[in-house]
Structure 1
Amino acid sequence: MKIAKEYRWEMGHRLPFHEGKCKNLHGHSYKCMVEINGEPDKNGMVLDYYDMKKIIKPIIEELDHSFMVWSGDKEVIEFLDKINSKKVIVDFQSTAENICLYLLERIKKTDLPKNINTLKVKVFETENTYAEEEISLK
């Protein structure tokens, strides 16, 4: 059985390696769909949506209205520090694919119930572009 919940946040980033517009500072209205597949419990629930929100919402809150910056982008980190802006420093380029993997790893590290078999995250960077990955928890 599969359940899913959608989350949204606003976040800035840049891709310094990019040869097009994405090398510039910019942001997106991100959306992600988190799907959990597992065996329903005795009450017929894979996971209560309230419990799902308690697990995932703090991760999204950390990202919301922040700037995700690669740890090697020293100029931007210095600038964000200077203006006292919220930032999330990561050891990867902030592509949709890498953000998807980041969310998967963060969720996987939480205390998920043992009945969960797989976890899938789909990150929409724009209305019509996304990255998606699924992992087994068994």
Structure 2
Amino acid sequence: HSYKLLVEFDGEIDKQGMIIDYYDAEKIINPIIEKLDHAFMVNKNDQVVLEFLEKMNSKKVVVDFQSTAENICLYLLNEIEKASLPENVNEIKVRVYETSHDYAEETLVLK
């Protein structure tokens, strides 16, 4: 599958007049995308697929959930939350598009 990702940060505007600098947002988001790019997301309990991917020497991301768009949103929110976010960020919204019109969306309230 190919997905499109939309990430929104909400919070208080800081002294520089922004919630988060685009450069800082990219430093948070890009490593997550690089980890997932051209990778097969597979449930850790799916031994058949895991063995196949090992034999094929395929790039994979092993997770503890089924890779639905909704679960991928939650995964992405969790990964973003691990980053050093500016203190003024109080909400993160992630939208994963499966097609140009179909998407799943999840929001994480930090404060």
1:61-76 correspondence runs (5 A) = 61-76=34-49
- Partner residue, 1:127: 100
What runs of 5+ residues in structure 1 fail to find an aligned partner?
1-27
Instruction: Decide which structure has greater helix share.
Output: 2
Instruction: Decide which structure has greater strand share.
Output: 1
For 1:61, give the aligned amino acid: E
Deviation digits for residues 2-57 of structure 1 (CA, Å, limit 9, x no counterpart): xxxxxxxxxxxxxxxxxxxxxxxxxx210110000011111101111011000110
- Supply the distance in 2 between the matched residues of 1:89 and 1:127 (Cα, whole angstroms): 27
TM-score by length of 1: 0.78
For 1:96, give the aligned amino acid: A
**Where in structure 1 do 4 or more consecutive aligned residues deviate above 6 Å?**
none
What runs of 5+ residues in structure 2 fail to find an aligned partner?
none
**1:104 to 2:69 alignment:** no
1:1-138 correspondence runs (5 A) = 28-138=1-111
3-state SS of 2:3 partner: strand
CA RMSD of aligned residues (A): 0.7
Aligned length: 111
State the percentage of identical aligned residues: 65
